[in-house]
Amino acid sequence: MTGPQDTDKDYVQSLARGLEVIRTFSRYKPRMTLSEVAQQTGLTRAAARRFLLTLVRENYAETDGKHFSLRPKVLDLGFSYLSALPMWEVAQPIMRDVVNSLQESCSLAVLDGLDIVYVARVPTERVMTIGLAIGSRLPAFCTSMGRTLLAGLPPRELAVYYDRVKLERRTPQTVANMVALKDAVEASRRQGYTLIDQELEMGLRSIAVPVRNRRSEVIAALNVGTQAGRTSADTMKTRFLPVLIDAGERIAASLPH
Amino acid sequence: MTGPQDTDKDYVQSLARGLEVIRTFSRYKPRMTLSEVAQQTGLTRAAARRFLLTLVRENYAETDGKHFSLRPKVLDLGFSYLSALPMWEVAQPIMRDVVNSLQESCSLAVLDGLDIVYVARVPTERVMTIGLAIGSRLPAFCTSMGRTLLAGLPPRELAVYYDRVKLERRTPQTVANMVALKDAVEASRRQGYTLIDQELEMGLRSIAVPVRNRRSEVIAALNVGTQAGRTSADTMKTRFLPVLIDAGERIAASLPH
DNA sequence: CACAAATAGTTCGTTATGCGAACAAAATAC
DNA sequence: GTATTTTGTTCGCATAACGAACTATTTGTG
């Protein structure tokens, strides 16, 4: 496992390695033996063992003597980020109003690399086959919130994104060529909202608007998702969009100075 | 800042310190300078700087050249824990059913030390003055889910809890003496649910049931919260409790083997 | 049950990781 | 402009963390 190429005196390799150990646990590997962790992370068994025992000692993990698993204290790490978000506390009541008004799921996400990351979510029903919660990631290029966030990037950062993204079709509708994606992002920027129709998953339609800070920078996206069979694109534009725009503005207005 | 008392060859001090740096960010300190982080964590400035630069290098944090703040990648750490939870994916649709049925907020929590930690939440409206999300912590002794989880502890672990907990009154109704708490927990165990009436916060009433694994161990608690003025304790027992019990059983039944 | 294979626990010599005091540089406050 | 505070950087040093190699334990197989 590599860190920076050259010896970097300001880099704490043990911290980076330890965080990788935490990240190696997942839905598919909720609990692992010492050797499995070593294998997954590329660490030696002795090193993996020290990291795991340190996590156990600090109550981030536990062991039954053979298998290791993470403990809820790990959520504190993510919570440090969430509770530091300026919009964190004000967004949820506003999102609940959206859900009460439209009877559809509402989510808030930020851009992180090539992905969007959910930071708040008020679900009403399962509109997608995968479960989503705070911390979930989805590709930005084929989600309504993702396109909205891309549209709000400064040109240079957007160019970097286009250079790095790999457009992989998720449904027959997925916009998977660069020219079409750029047009779509530009359209999002112009019209101030994004409507995605079954690009991420068949049957899923969602609409998103930007949430801006006081300097008019796009800092998050807010969306409502529905089943395509239940709500037409026109209805989303005429009924859902005004509610979302209002909610985005209320969140923005509630941000600290 | 101290680690283990004796030199412990299996303890990675840099990992423990780095995790403390992450945890030091909060709602009150969303962004900090190098010196502030050093002061908050007890590290030297040079050490704090190396940890922060490592977090920046690994995209867990960012800096504007002076202040540091966390990035969404930190949520991946908590997400490792959440996605590894056996009940994670099945619980939310069931909780949404509860919310649709009762029109009240529904949450799922686990016990961690003296606290409960929220691992899933479907809010309907603001029943509490503080915002709650995945990762939020509340004291176990004066919450419905907390009492439920305490009731499900093996006797030895419960004894340890009683030894360590400090009962601090949150409202005039808070059960804050040990005898009364033990009686309340025992009552929760006997009746298989817990109803809390304005012990955590005035105006807040909530009812919780245990979620058990296939070995009948209590692994989480599920609750519904309401405003005391809107729903009587009797209504919670007659209308809410059957729905919650059913939901708890459905979550339990959906757990993997 | 015996044996082989796999995995975990431990040791310890080694080294490079991470340390922090001290200084320089930059930013901030007055 | 000066004083103060904060940040950036260096570098000698101590030891934290390393991993190879071994022992011990567990698991799987015939």
- Kindly state whether residue A6 falls inside one of the protein's structural domains: no
pLDDT in tens, B165-209: 999 999 999 999 999 999 999 999 999 999 999 999 898 999 999
Residues B53 and B89 placed together within one structural domain of the fold: no
Q: Which of B24, B44, B73 is the last residue of a domain?
A: B73
Question: Residue A130: what pLDDT?
Answer: 66
Chain C bases near protein CB atoms (7 A cut-off): 6-12, 16-22, 27-28
Average pLDDT for A104-125: 91
- pLDDT-derived band at B6 (thresholds 50, 70, 90) equals very low
**Is the same domain home to A137 and A49?**
no
Residue A7 has pLDDT above 60, yes or no: no
Measured at the alpha carbon of residue B150, what is the angle toward residues B147 and B152, in degrees to the nearest 5?
A: 115
A74 vs B73: CB contact, 8 Å cut-off?
Answer: no
In this prediction the ipTM stands at 0.88
pLDDT at B8 over 80: no
Q: Distance between CA atoms of A40 and A200, rounded to whole angstroms?
A: 29
Q: Which ranges constitute the DSSP H helices of A58-128?
A: 73-84, 88-102
* % of chain A with per-residue pLDDT over 90: 61
**Domain tally, chain B:** 2
B169 and B190 belong to one structural domain: yes
Task: Find the DSSP H helices in chain B.
Answer: 13-23, 34-41, 45-57, 73-84, 88-102, 144-151, 155-164, 178-191, 233-235, 241-253
Which pair of tokens denotes residue A123? 């679900």
Mean pLDDT of chain A: 89
Cα–Cα distance for residue pair A137/A27, rounded to 1 Å: 14
| pLDDT average, residue stretch B104-124 | 92
pLDDT tens digits, one per residue of A50-75: 999 999 989 999 988 888 999 999 99
pLDDT value at residue B111: 96
The lowest-confidence range among A39-48, A188-197, B176-185 is A39-48
| pLDDT of B7 over the 80 cut | no
Residue partners of B158: CB distance under 8 A and separation at least 6: B150, B185
Phi-psi region of A216 (alpha: psi -120 to 50; beta: other; left: phi over 0): left
Is B90:A31 a contact under the CB 8 Å cutoff? no
Beta bridge partners of B109: B118, B221
Question: Regarding predicted confidence, which is higher, A141 or A90?
Answer: A141
Query: Are B149 and B116 in contact, with CB atoms under 8 Å apart?
Result: yes
Quick check: is A5 in a domain? no
pLDDT at A133: 85
CATH number at residue A100: 3.30.450.40
Residues A98 and A131 in one domain: yes
My answer on whether B28 and B91 are in the same domain is no
The domain that holds B23 is classified in CATH as 1.10.10.10
Amino acid at A152: G
- Is residue A37 located within the same domain as residue A96? no
Average pLDDT over residues B115-142: 85
DSSP label at residue A218: E
Closest alpha carbon to B130 in B202, B45, B22: B202
Pairwise CA distance, residues A134 & A141, whole Å = 19
Q: Which domain holds residue B112?
A: 85-253
pLDDT at B127: 64
Find the mean pLDDT for residues A4-16: 72
H helix runs in chain A, sequence order: 13-23, 34-41, 45-57, 73-84, 88-102, 144-151, 155-164, 178-191, 233-235, 241-253
Q: Across the interface, which of A8, A51, A74 has its CB nearest the CB of B77?
A: A74
Please say which residue of A55, A76, A97 terminates a domain: A76
Residue-by-residue DSSP string for B69-90: EE-THHHHHHHHHHHHSTTHHH
A2 part of a folded domain? no
Average pLDDT of the segment spanning A7-21: 85
Give the confidence band of A126 by pLDDT, cuts at 50, 70, 90: low
For the beta carbon of residue A254, count every other beta carbon within 10 angstroms.
14
What is the structure's pLDDT at B103? 87
The CA radius of gyration of chain B, in Å to the nearest whole number, is: 21
pLDDT tens column, A150-190: 999 999 999 999 999 999 999 999 999 999 999 999 999 99
Tokens of B47: 């050490």
Over residues A238-256, the mean pLDDT reads 93
Same domain as B240, residue B113:
yes
Q: Which nucleotide lies closest to A35 by the C1' atom and the CA atom?
A: C7
Answer whether residue B1 is part of any domain: no
Helix (H, G, I), strand (E, B) or coil at A138: strand
Domain check: are B148 and B209 in the same one? yes
Interchain contact, A126 vs B96, CB within 8 Å: yes
Which residues neighbour A190 within 8 Å (Cβ) at sequence distance 6 or greater?
none
Look up residue A131 and give its two tokens: 């479960």
Task: Tell me the pLDDT band of A129, cut-offs 50, 70 and 90.
Answer: low
In terms of domains, do B89 and B68 share one? no
Reduced to 3 states (helix: H, G, I; strand: E, B; else coil), residue B158 is helix
Is residue A110 a part of any domain in this protein? yes
Residue B78 lies in a domain: no
Per-residue confidence band for A5, with pLDDT thresholds at 50, 70 and 90? very low
In window 17-56 of A, residues with CB < 7 A from nucleic chain D are: 17, 43-47, 50-51
Mean pLDDT of B54-74: 89
Distance CA B169, CA A32 (A): 41
Structural contact between residues B257 and B125, judged by C-beta atoms closer than 8 angstroms:
no
In the predicted model, what is the mean pLDDT of residues A41-56? 90
Covered bases, chain D (protein CB within 7 Å): 6-11, 16-21, 26-27
- Closest-CA distance, A73 to chain B, in angstroms, reads 7
Distance to chain A for B240, nearest Cα, Å? 19
| Strand D within 7 A of A66 CB | yes
- Residues A155, A63 within the same domain: no
pLDDT of B84 > 90? The answer is no
Angle of helix A45-57 versus helix A34-41 axis, rounded to 10: 110
My answer on whether B153 and B217 are in the same domain is yes
- Is A150 within the bounds of a domain? yes
Give me the residue from B70, B86, B133 closest to A84, CB to CB: B70
Collapsing DSSP to helix, strand or coil, B194 comes out as strand
In this structure, the answer to whether residues A110 and A42 fall within a common structural domain is: no
Q: Is residue B29 part of a domain?
A: yes
Domain boundary among B73, B96, B117: B73
User: How long a stretch of residues is chain A?
Assistant: 257
